[in-house]
Chain A
Amino acid sequence: MAPDALAVLVFAPLVAALAVIVAPPRATTALALAGIALTAPALWVVTAAVLGGEVVEVALAGAAPPLGIAWRADGFSLTMAWLTFVVVAFVSLHALASFPSTSDAGRRFWPMWLILVASVYALFLSADLFNLYVTLELVTLTAVAMIAIGGAPAAMRAAMRYLLLGLMASLFYLLATALLYGQTGTLDLYQVGERLGEGALATTALALMITGLLVKSAIVPLHVWLPAAHGKAPGPVSAVLSALVVKVTLYILIRLWFWAGGALDDGLAAFVLGLLGAVAIVYGSIAAIVQTRLKMLVAYSTVAQLGYVMLLFPLASTAAFRAVTFHVLAHGVAKAAMFLAAANLLAALGSDRLQRLVGADQRYPVNVLAFALAGVSIMGLPPSGGFVAKWMLLEAAWQSQGWGWVAVISAGSLLAAVYVFRVVALAYAQPRPASSVRRPGTTPRGRFGATSVAALALAVLAIVLGIASAPVLSLIDLGLPPGMAP
């Protein structure tokens, strides 16, 4: 039963996508929601099996690697799959209102949205280097197309830059895949890890692959495409880009490094990756602080938050793995909430210039609250998922006596506080009577509609993650890399 459930994860959204394309628009909502909702029981079944101690695995077409491709779910991939479901479910709720299925934009949005969901699931289940390439291309192309959906020149320019860099990165990755296949005769990531051995060849091939993945994950200094792409995309798209799409490549990177990266087991490479992460944290935060637009601020915050993931490589301990996986989860939920709230404020105020936010709390309290709650998690303050992640990461850094990392982690959350509170303070500020901002009362209060509910629900979830971390961590513990014990 559990292996079949793996197939449901990919096929349900995919079938829904095909049906949405063919069926008349009025059926879209039902089909899309069904496609997404069906993955929940499937995830549940797989999770139950994994918690029961199984590794859920199915050889597609009965052809096990190296002959064919297998889908496999352990604690790590399942954690990511749950993140996918949660983010997608709430962002879909937002999209029902922001991309109504009968509108032109909605007709373009929903099929690609569903294909994106299917491909993200497929990616998390796969450990085949070439299959990962195909799913990555699928994710990149859908993401790019959805950035451009609004048709604004700035968005399309951002989409174009993302596409070009994304394709280049894919080719680096594919080249490395070719070399690894030549060397090991298999495409299965785990078998590659067993057969690769050490040596210059292995190191350089992996270095090529990692470079490609770093570009797609927007790790400083390869982040240039991200801020505009995430900042200019429509709200739900920004949310899922920051919450999921940049994470999928980091997922592959972590799998590669810890499950197949024996050849890279020297401190220097890990240190360099960690250093990139540290630079990302500081640079991204400062860049976020100086932004003048809300969505760009949130986008640069993503650049910074991705840096924390990179600290896993130098720390390389069970505690660090738990911390980083939990961080990916917490950041995903919180950042999705933040982008949705930002998009709602943009839609309501007509612009996302920060100065326009003055007094926004009086008219749009729900969205300001959602932003603030998500901000609590981003800053790593208790009680939130972000705090639990930061706590564990600090602990891991302390245990390995990485004082530099400790300093960066601490500084990172203080810098995050600067940009989060900058926004909230503006929203709480009182508009001066003479200003052109309309006085409260003359405009309808913020609607408590689906878009606001989606943002607030995700934000609340980001907080709840901090209190209910235990079950999540026990799932993560079932997906620890080889050689790490709970």
Chain B
Amino acid sequence: MTVGVVVDMMLGLALVALSLRVVTGGSLFRDIVLFILFGLLVALSWARLGAPDLALAEAAIGAGLTGALMLMAYRSIGADTEERPVRRRPGVALVVAVLTGSLVAVIGLAALGIERVPDAAGDAVLEALPGTGLGNAVTGVLLVFRGLDTMLEMAVLLVALLGAWTVLGDARPGRVHRVDRRTPLVGSLLTVVAPITLLVAVHLLLAGTDAPGGAFQACAVLTGCGVLMVLTGTLRPTAVAGFATRLLVVAGLAAFVLVGAGAGFVGHAPMTLTGTWAVYLIETAMMLSIALTMTLLFARARGLRGEGS
């Protein structure tokens, strides 16, 4: 048993302990924080499993963004809604849970023991990747081979936003609890952080074509920046989605549709990316769309406007 495996086992135990705590614990606020911690540990697991792309995404989106959304919602519904943590006969649920868990364990382990079939999709991807002009196999899958999934995923994001706008009703945009910007540290932090995040985002985007990174991570960084600006009041929620906002939130999906459907018109199979320009177009549009969508979802707003404007 190597040191690595010992680390894995500790990590695994921590994951299990944290997850149990998160779903049954007594204080919702603390458990949301623990959930964020859980997400960060999952990110570590990704790294241990040799998937740094996923580690980045998990840390930024799975843990960071989800956690931030949870905390925002927690704040909105008020701390006075403290709960009875469990209800009904937990015994039955426990049986269901143990059964499901063991089932997953048994078949998971069985699946691990299986010889990889020679022509698994993953191997086919590695074989076909040089033909795409992309250096990163994961990006290749996301944008080329399974571009349809990614396009529909953009649609899911869009629907989440439209749905959130729907349930927002005619109410005023979410009241964002703002950090006082006059606090010296926050102000200077923002002035430094904002440009840097933008640079990092662009770098990640470009790097994504052949190295870890890519649109998702870039947008996570951008979203972080947006969240910060909403929190500090640099961006204020508005009740109406302006033309620019609407255009930007559909940009990612629109770029995909344009390229994907357009390929059909020039004699390729639908969803074919006909050049590197298409990759950059889609990735940029996706990055902007995801970042704006996430920021809007975070602020529970239909639009954003700059401070003072």
Residue of A nearest to B128 (CB): A67
In the complex, whether B107 has a CB less than 8 A from a CB of chain A is yes
Chain B contact residues, majority secondary structure: helix
User: B121 contacts A183, CB within 8 Å?
Assistant: no
Q: Mark B133-162, 1 if CB is under 8 A from A, else 0.
A: 000000000001111110011011011101
B292 to chain A minimum Cβ distance, whole angstroms, is 13
In the complex, whether B114 has a CB less than 8 A from a CB of chain A is yes
The stretch that binds B, out of A55-63, A80-88, A261-269, A325-333, is A55-63
User: B250 contacts A179, CB within 8 Å?
Assistant: no
Q: Mark A139-164, 1 if CB is under 8 A from B, else 0.
A: 00110111011010000100000000
Known: A134-B152, A134-B156, A179-B111. A18 touches B162 (CB 8 A): no
User: B269 contacts A18, CB within 8 Å?
Assistant: no
What residues on A are CB-neighbors of B119 within 8 Å? 66, 185
Q: Mark B76-111, 1 if CB is under 8 A from A, else 0.
A: 000000000000000000000000000110111011
In the complex, whether A381 has a CB less than 8 A from a CB of chain B is no
Q: Pick the contact of B156: A4, A68, A137, A151 (CB < 8 A).
A: A137
Q: Mark B108-130, 1 if CB is under 8 A from A, else 0.
A: 10111010110111111100100
User: B257 contacts A68, CB within 8 Å?
Assistant: no
What residues on B are CB-neighbors of A144 within 8 Å? 163
Known: A108-B166, A148-B167, A151-B169. A135 touches B124 (CB 8 A): no
User: B117 contacts A145, CB within 8 Å?
Assistant: no
User: B270 contacts A4, CB within 8 Å?
Assistant: yes
Known: A60-B148, A204-B103. A112 touches B269 (CB 8 A): no
In the complex, whether B243 has a CB less than 8 A from a CB of chain A is yes
What is the CA–CA distance of A4 and B124 in the complex, to the nearest angstrom? Answer: 25
B66 to chain A minimum Cβ distance, whole angstroms, is 13
In the complex, whether A300 has a CB less than 8 A from a CB of chain B is no
User: A61 contacts B257, CB within 8 Å?
Assistant: no
A293 to chain B minimum Cβ distance, whole angstroms, is 24
Known: A66-B120, A119-B152. A145 touches B166 (CB 8 A): yes
Chain A contact residues, majority secondary structure: helix
B113 to chain A minimum Cβ distance, whole angstroms, is 9
User: A7 contacts B264, CB within 8 Å?
Assistant: yes
What residues on B are CB-neighbors of A115 within 8 Å? 155, 158-159, 162
User: B156 contacts A7, CB within 8 Å?
Assistant: no
Q: Mark A179-208, 1 if CB is under 8 A from B, else 0.
A: 101111111000000010000110011001
User: A182 contacts B111, CB within 8 Å?
Assistant: yes
User: B261 contacts A131, CB within 8 Å?
Assistant: no
User: B121 contacts A22, CB within 8 Å?
Assistant: no
Q: Pick the contact of B121: A4, A7, A62, A186 (CB < 8 A).
A: A186
What is the CA–CA distance of A62 and B110 in the complex, to the nearest angstrom? Answer: 34
User: A62 contacts B159, CB within 8 Å?
Assistant: no
Q: Pick the contact of A11: B122, B144, B165, B260 (CB < 8 A).
A: B260
What is the CA–CA distance of A111 and B103 in the complex, to the nearest angstrom? Answer: 41
A206 to chain B minimum Cβ distance, whole angstroms, is 11
Interface residues of A in 3-49 (CB under 8 A from B): 3-4, 6-7, 11, 14-15, 18, 21-22
* 14 cross-chain CB contacts under 8 A: A7-B264, A15-B257, A18-B253, A61-B273, A63-B128, A69-B148, A69-B149, A108-B162, A118-B155, A131-B149, A148-B163, A183-B114, A185-B121, A204-B107
Kindly list 20 other residue pairs between chains A and B, CB separation below 8 angstroms, not including A15-B261, A69-B149, A138-B152.
Answer: A4-B264, A7-B264, A18-B253, A60-B148, A61-B145, A61-B272, A61-B273, A63-B144, A65-B121, A69-B148, A115-B155, A115-B162, A119-B152, A119-B155, A131-B149, A142-B163, A146-B166, A185-B123, A186-B121, A208-B103
* Residues of A that sit less than 8 Å from B by CB: 3-4, 6-7, 11, 14-15, 18, 21-22, 58-63, 65-69, 71, 104, 108, 111-112, 115, 118-119, 122, 126, 130-131, 134-135, 137-138, 141-142, 144-146, 148-149, 151, 156, 175, 179, 181-187, 195, 200-201, 204-205, 208
